[in-house]
Structure 1
Amino acid sequence: MAGTPTPQVDIRRSAERFPTEAGWLTSRHSFSFGHHHDPANTHHGVLLVNNDDVVRPGTGFDTHPHRDMEIVTWVLQGSLVHQDSEGHNGVIYPGLAQRMSAGTGIRHSEKNDSWRLQGGDAHDEPVHFVQMWVVPDEAGIAPGYEQLEIGDELLKGGLVPVASGMDKHRDAAAIRIKNRYAGLYAARLQAGQSVQLPEAPYLHLFVPRGEVNLEGAGALGTGDAVRLTATGGQRVTAAADAEILVWEMHAAIAA
């Protein structure tokens, strides 16, 4: 883990993210991912992946492996079907928190659920989701899966803990991750509403949709992100209806 960080507010615009276009998939990567590699952009804190994906109807990620990673998926539109080699099955939709611990090894698939008949009607829409990976406290843990509905909590406003391994969220976070230094929040904001960022050595603010203003830094639009180091406490105010994702991290991977 890294030492004491230097205060910094690093704004990363949507257009700066690495793109992947695969016909059935439109993906934007905040950090090095797949064939996109930049040795100066591999992580922030313990966050290794922040992928903003749109998957067309009837398509998705075929079965593939993961190992020693805590993977959190947050759906913004549509629904995503998860199946894995440990026998877990689930449909992830907006307001549902989901975590997969890859541990000693797991294989899974993720497909756009719109092909299914729901209430007698076929839904034909893309699924838009953000997938985030953080390193676990230790390698070689047993694989696991957890999901929980938190839509009612989001309606109350404010930053809602989505996934966390920190002690302070033991009774508040929707789902647990195997990293005691990290926690993810989500907030759905109407125009004019605001929330205050926590204070931490490392924060990652991502705007998957909408427009907000970050105190001291200015306007952020859809797909923009901010990497905050050794700071926090700023207010985020919605300029239009928006959704934000915030990672609070008290450790970092050593460079």
Structure 2
Amino acid sequence: MQHTSSNTHIRRSQQRGHADHGWLKSWHTFSFASYYDPAFMGFRSLRVINQDIVAPGGGFPTHPHRDMEIFSYVLQGEMAHKDSMGNERTLRPGDVQLMSAGTGITHSEFNPSSENPLHLLQIWIQPAQRGLTPSYSDWESRRDAAKSLLISPDGREDSAVIHQDAYVYRVKLAAGESLSHEVAPGRGAWFQLISGQAQLGDATLNPGDAFATEASGALTITANEAIEGLLFDLK
């Protein structure tokens, strides 16, 4: 990770862990599965950001989770979700699903297309407490604002609900546009760039790059070209 100051860091795309399973190509921002780096175990409550490309017809068979807030953000293609709580849903680009695994759930995720790959981000956030009752919520891509709240602790602005003091925003800016996000004292922000090129101070980010800061004050994101990304505001 590149250090731009004592409390600001850049995580470059090419520094991430990578796994190629044939049907699945995955890039790991933090230690995950066989990729282990003790320097990159997470950021505050943010534990996993995996960028996954799933081949047509491929997917993750039914498997268990517990005591983790797990969400998927679909970038391209479709994802068919089914879980032990009875939820069945097909997510499309821009859609978010959020599961609180709590005391334990099982779920499966598949690419239902026989022709097109599925491209998504899979993200884990540690809950504020263990042993929660499992739950499910989602957010449909129905707004095109520069900064849209996807996930929050209280469901404000029709966001999906997470059991952690964490806010997740989708950022979409046209070339030349900027936005500022206020990082409160004692909190941290992680910006994961999905597409385009962004400028954060002296740092230029390309797809797959991330910018992290624990400095309070305004965090300004400028689009050198049209961008999409996720902004995490974490206790």
Q: Same fold (TM over 0.5)?
A: yes
| Aligned equivalent of 2:189, options 176, 193, 203 | 203
Q: Distance in 2 between matches of 1:203 and 1:234?
A: 8
Q: 2:148 matched to 1:164?
A: no
Deviation above 4 Å: which 4+ runs of structure 1? Answer: none
Kindly provide the amino acid, as one letter, of the partner of residue 131 in structure 1: Q
Structure 1 equivalent of residue 162 of structure 2:
177
| Offset at residue 46 of structure 1 (A) | 0.5
The structure, 1 or 2, with the larger RCO (C-alpha pairs under 8 Å, 6+ apart) is: 1
Q: 2:146 matched to 1:152?
A: no
Q: 2:118 matched to 1:130?
A: no
Kindly provide the amino acid, as one letter, of the partner of residue 213 in structure 1: Q
Structure 2 equivalent of residue 3 of structure 1:
none
Q: Distance in 1 between matches of 2:101 and 2:182?
A: 28
Structure 1 equivalent of residue 216 of structure 2:
231
Deviations 1:163-220 (A, max 9, x none): 111x5xx4325110111x1110001222112221231421111011111111x23210
1:1-255 to structure 2, matched below 5 A, reads 8-115=7-114, 124-149=115-140, 151-153=141-143, 155=144, 157-165=145-153, 170-179=155-164, 181-200=165-184, 201-214=187-200, 216-250=201-235
| Offset at residue 224 of structure 1 (A) | 0.3
Q: Distance in 1 between matches of 2:146 and 2:172?
A: 8
Q: Structure 2 vs 1, CA of residues 161 and 7 (structure 1 numbering), >3 Å: closer, same or farther?
A: farther
Whether the 8 Å contact between 1:182 and 1:249 is mirrored in structure 2 is yes
Q: Structure 2 vs 1, CA of residues 212 and 56 (structure 1 numbering), >3 Å: closer, same or farther?
A: same
Whether the 8 Å contact between 1:7 and 1:229 is mirrored in structure 2 is no
Q: Distance in 1 between matches of 2:183 and 2:60?
A: 36
Unpaired runs of 5+ residues, structure 2, are none
Q: Distance in 1 between matches of 2:167 and 2:233?
A: 5
Kindly provide the amino acid, as one letter, of the partner of residue 88 in structure 1: N
TM-score norm. by structure 2 comes to 0.92
TM-score norm. by structure 1 comes to 0.85
Whether the 8 Å contact between 1:207 and 1:244 is mirrored in structure 2 is yes
Q: Distance in 1 between matches of 2:82 and 2:28?
A: 23
Whether the 8 Å contact between 2:139 and 2:158 is mirrored in structure 1 is no
Kindly provide the amino acid, as one letter, of the partner of residue 148 in structure 2: V
Figure out how many residues of one structure are paired with residues of the other and give that number: 229
